[in-house]
Chain A
Amino acid sequence: MSNDIERLLAAAADDTDRPLHTDLDNILARGRRSVRRGRIAIASAALVSTAALVGGVTAWTGAVAGAADPAGITVDNSTGVVTDNESGTKAVPPPPVSPLSDAEIVKRCKRWDSEALTRHNSVGNGDDKAGPINDRWKVILKVGDQTKLDAMLMSPDQSIVSRCTFGSELRTAFAMRHYTKSSVSAAEDADKSSMGGQPETVESHSRIPAPNVARVLVDVFGEKAPREARVSSDGYFSEGAPDWIAWEKVDPTDQPKRVQGHPRIQRVRAYDAKGKQVYEWKYTPHR
């Protein structure tokens, strides 16, 4: 039916009188160039993609590593000043290590620890078998200067930490003895749920109950900036001996609050070496 069309088309496309001007070598050369350009384009695209990927991952990793943990701290490596990321305030530097020798500390603390031991036993803490402090006790932390001292001594059997604190001018002092293990037996646990079986060293804010503690911030009642505490390798810490005279000056008219039992330490936060928070305790009224 369409043979006539096919015949006409074949006749119209007759190129017997049309010489071919195409050089096949030229087509080959164009083809090779085209293939080469395609390969270069693919390689370039792969290179750019890889570079973009690597750059993106690097930037992301850097951003993640460099981003300040909102619950953490930032340490200025040149000055050592710690900034609390949460509030943006700079922490008060940690108290200095006391210049007193360990023997001198034992000597000074003996009397006060003896009183504390008597108190301890008088309230029925018959488990305190460590006895009074002597030269065999190890000073695990000592902070202060010529006028103040806050020292912690560990008993040889490591069951008791005696904390010995001298206030202003080294005139006023007291000592407390704390169990390093759980302070209550399982039977007593139900009655003393507020203690929660915590070692007294934790309850008394002498030790952070978490591993790898590098820095500790302590919020003290009446102070705007947190204090950085000095930390021992076992997580024992001290924000510095309280200045009793200054403490009285915080707010002399605020007696009712203190009567109600507002604690001096309001908040304790601990961080690992990277500045990540690993522990937090916060005072909550009516607890």
Chain B
Amino acid sequence: MRARDDAEFTEFAANAIRPLRRTAYLMCGDWHRAEDAAQDALVNVYRRWNRIERLGGLNSYAHRCVVTAVLDQARKPWRREHLDQTDDSALVLPDLVGGIDDRMFVIEALGALPPSQRACVVLRHYNDLSVEQTADILGVSPGGVKSQTSRGLERLRQLLAQTERSAL
């Protein structure tokens, strides 16, 4: 890759790394894994830098890479072994003031969703991507995105409501 392309990529990566990490975090609930996934996604973007359509396609491709990276990580056996174990340092620090950290509840509730529903909810309601963009990233039909998102939201609300009741 030429130096000019490297400079352009570095600028893109600097802007995209945090959003990608946040998306990955919502998908996996672990800041370390999220950062790894964001890095992997950016490496994949670099590999296809000259072949990606810059206008519109770049962001979609980066998100597709990060979602794939998170799902790939979850499939790895050495990751699966620790899936149910909570890494205290990786989770959001407890809200020392409020006592209860809403953020942790959301992450745990998201973690209880099936991966496809989780991905749909995150991409549609956190990243503000359209149904078509989400379908393209996940490689499913728009109808599938709609139904998965709907079920995911419904389940997420149930889980959060349960958490609130138990917290009271």
Contact = CB atoms under 8 A, between A and B. Distances in A.
A52 B151 CA distance: 53
A28 B160 contact: no
Chain B, interface residues (CB within 8 Å), range: 35 or more
A228 to B, nearest CB: 68
A273 interface: no
Contacts of B53: none
Interface in A15-46: 15, 17-18, 20-22, 24, 26-28, 30-32, 34-35, 38
B28 to A, nearest CB: 12
B156 A5 contact: yes
Contact of B125 (A9, A11, A32): A9
A12 interface: yes
Contacts of B18: 15, 20
A35 B45 CA distance: 11
B81 to A, nearest CB: 24
A13 B126 contact: yes
A197 B115 CA distance: 90
A2 interface: yes
Contacts of A186: none
A68 interface: no
Chain A, interface residues (CB within 8 Å), range: 20 to 34
Nearest to B49: A31
Interface centre among A2, A28, A31, A34 (most CB of B within 10 A): A31
A8 interface: yes
Contacts of A254: none
B47 A12 contact: no
A27 B42 contact: yes
B21 A8 contact: no
Interface of A: 2, 5-6, 8-15, 17-18, 20-22, 24, 26-28, 30-32, 34-35, 38
30 contacts: A5-B121, A5-B153, A5-B157, A6-B126, A8-B160, A9-B121, A9-B122, A9-B125, A9-B126, A10-B126, A11-B103, A12-B92, A12-B103, A12-B106, A13-B22, A13-B26, A15-B18, A15-B21, A15-B25, A15-B31, A17-B93, A20-B21, A24-B14, A27-B46, A28-B6, A31-B9, A31-B42, A35-B1, A35-B46, A38-B47
Interface of B: 1, 6, 9-10, 13-14, 17-18, 21-23, 25-26, 31, 35, 38-39, 42-43, 46-47, 49, 92-93, 102-103, 106-107, 110, 121-122, 125-126, 153, 156-157, 160
